[in-house]
Amino acid sequence: MHDLSILLIELGTVLLGLSLLGRIGRRTGLSPIPLYLIAGLAFGEGGLLPLSASEEFIEVGAEMGVILLLVMLGLEYSAGELVSNLRASAPAGLIDAVLNAVPGALFALLMGWDWVAALVLAGITWVSSSGVIAKVLSDLGRLGNRETPVVLSVLVIEDLAMALYLPFLTAVLAGVSLAAGATSLAIAVATVVIVLLVAIRFGNAISAFISADDAEALLLGVLGLTLLVSGMADKLQVSAAVGAFLVGIALSGPVAHHAVQLLTPLRDLFAAVFFVFFGLSTHPGEIPHVLLPALALAVLTMGTKVLTGYLGAKRAGIALPGRFRAGLALMPRGEFSIVIAGLAVAAGVEPQLASLATAYVLITVVTGPMLARIPDTEWFKAMLRKRTAVGHPVVPRPD
Amino acid sequence: MRVRVEQTALPGIGVRHDLVMASGRRIGVVSHRSGRRDLVLYDQDDPDACIASLPLTDDEAEALADLLGASLMLGQLAGLRSQAAGLLTEQISIPAGSPWAHRRLGDTRARTRTGASIVAVLRDREVIASPAPSFAFQTGDVVVVVGTREGLDGVAAILAETESDG
């Protein structure tokens, strides 16, 4: 009984603290992700207010958070959308992967880490935060902009790529041989393809199975199906997160629409717990040691994201200002980077990785949305006008 | 008076329709999955950016549509857009007084000259799919063209010609 009361008190304190932080965040227009991470750092070992009783509870909550984040992500897309996007935007997705994953991998090797850590850091620097970026685009009134589809399709491709990357990473982290890793990847590819095909063909039938009429039954049905599939995916070493993502994709129509409304508050709760948990597992004392490398990595990979967006928008025939808007919007990394880092930390890869990932995500997710406003400023517009007024300046290339 | 409405998918959000007005300005509508609609107005200096984005409720959108008059139904065309990269769909109308009214599709030699294909014609809320070269245009027809940006502009130019070089 004693443990239970402490658990309730600790949990209540954490949630109240988060609510306060969330309000501060909304005032300042900041994404709540960095605030939750900082809260986790404060409550963690070596922080201001170490928690002990609720650790296990928070761990389970964090797992739920990942699953809910991913199922909601899947619910946002229809299978048809994903497939058509894949065909049209594969080149942009490839540029994105090469420009952003490679620097992360090289950086890890430069830090003297092994190739598993390099694989992890590649994923962390590769994936932009769909949640943060969608919010930035909507806040800045850019949903109608002509470069926005470019930004969105890069995000879609990244999310889809994660469905292949996460199971592969899970297998590698489990320490299986390369052959077993390849098998796991093959299972993942087959699963993703089958789910997409089934969702396109029979999406309505699956959705009809879960009726959208009764809110309570719908909530329990979608949540139950998601947890069930996630658990089975985890057993197959395809990663629980990917299972959840696929359930989200398979659901469509009114079921998906209502499920989004019902699951959003749950997602907000458990995603907050997830970010806090990740902060908890990071030792705040380590942050200063990795601050400079994290800053360097952030500057480097924010630069490559700008280039990614620039090139993608150029391919789509967007003019100069739009190319910069696309590039600068893509910079924030968030939930996925933390999910990847979380997997690695749980598997005991490179102890410094958690603190580096925390610092890295903190930097990109705070500065990204601020820097995204640059193209709307007068001086930036004036600068671009000057450049185009001179004619198309030929940049000398050293070749 | 030709109106070209482009439809663009916004994965995860919804769909955007936009058109260039005769004045050269561009306006559009972002239709969210949730049913919300934003009326967007593009910047004159920077046609890729919208300077205003006005969220409309269902009722407001309906009222506005009533004010502006019945518009073309684009929903029917959703499946028509090609998925391949770089291919666009566009609708070009044959206004009253067009030299092409009562002339045949084959006379435009659109595909030979531009590489773009006329894949359908909308007439009186009906879709005439894959019209033959012998198909004769009428005033008020809306021609649906599929092709590259240049191809579409080429067909638009052909259909806007006052004297054809047939």
List the single range of A10-14, A172-176, A259-263, A290-294 with lowest mean pLDDT: A172-176
- Mean pLDDT, rounded, for A359-366: 92
Q: Tell me which residues of chain B have a C-beta less than 8 Å from any C-beta of chain A.
A: 8-13, 16, 18, 28, 30, 33-34, 38, 40, 42, 45-50, 52-53, 83-85, 149
pLDDT in tens, A139-170: 888 988 989 999 999 998 998 888 888 888 88
Confidence of residue B85 (pLDDT cuts 50, 70, 90): low
CA atoms within 13 A on the CB side of A390: 9
Tell me the whole-structure pTM to 2 decimals: 0.74
Question: Which of B32, B19, B112 minimizes the C-alpha distance to A152?
Answer: B32
Token pair, residue A317, equals: 């025939």
- A with B: how many residue pairs have Cβ under 8 Å apart? 87
How far is Cα A44 from Cα A52, in angstroms, rounded to an integer? 9
pLDDT in tens, A14-26: 888 888 888 887 7
Ranges A48-57, A80-89, A179-188, A254-263, most confident: A254-263
CA atoms within 13 A on the CB side of B99: 12
Answer yes or no: do A321 and B49 touch at CB < 8 A.
yes
Strand partners, B55: B38
Whether residue B59 contacts residue B121, with contact meaning beta carbons closer than 8 Å, is answered with: no
Whether residue A90 contacts residue A74, with contact meaning beta carbons closer than 8 Å, is answered with: no
Q: What is the pLDDT, as a whole number, of residue B162?
A: 62
Q: How far, in Å, are A121, A297, B20 from residue B15 at the CA level? A: 35, 36, 17
Residues 50-79 of A with CB under 8 A from B: 76-77
Give me the residue from B10, B84, B149 closest to A148, CB to CB: B10
Q: What is the pLDDT, as a whole number, of residue A14?
A: 83
Q: What is the pLDDT, as a whole number, of residue B79?
A: 46
Per-residue burial over B94-113, b = 16 or more CB atoms within 10 Å of its CB, e = otherwise: bbeebbbeeeebeebebbee
Ranges A169-178, A306-315, A382-391, most confident: A306-315
Alpha-carbon dihedral sign for residues A247, A157, B19, B88: negative
Q: What is the pLDDT, as a whole number, of residue B75?
A: 43
- Mean pLDDT, rounded, for A252-260: 83
Q: What is the pLDDT, as a whole number, of residue B165?
A: 47
pLDDT at position A198 over 90: no
Q: What is the pLDDT, as a whole number, of residue B84?
A: 55
Mapping DSSP to helix (H, G, I), strand (E, B) and coil, where does residue A219 land? Answer: helix
How far is Cα A328 from Cα B117, in angstroms, rounded to an integer? 37
Q: How far, in Å, are A15, A38, A42, A54, A397 from residue A12 at the CA level? A: 5, 17, 15, 10, 60
Can you tell me the ipTM of this complex? Answer: 0.70
- Mean pLDDT, rounded, for B19-29: 86
For residue A152, the chain B residue with the least C-alpha distance is B11
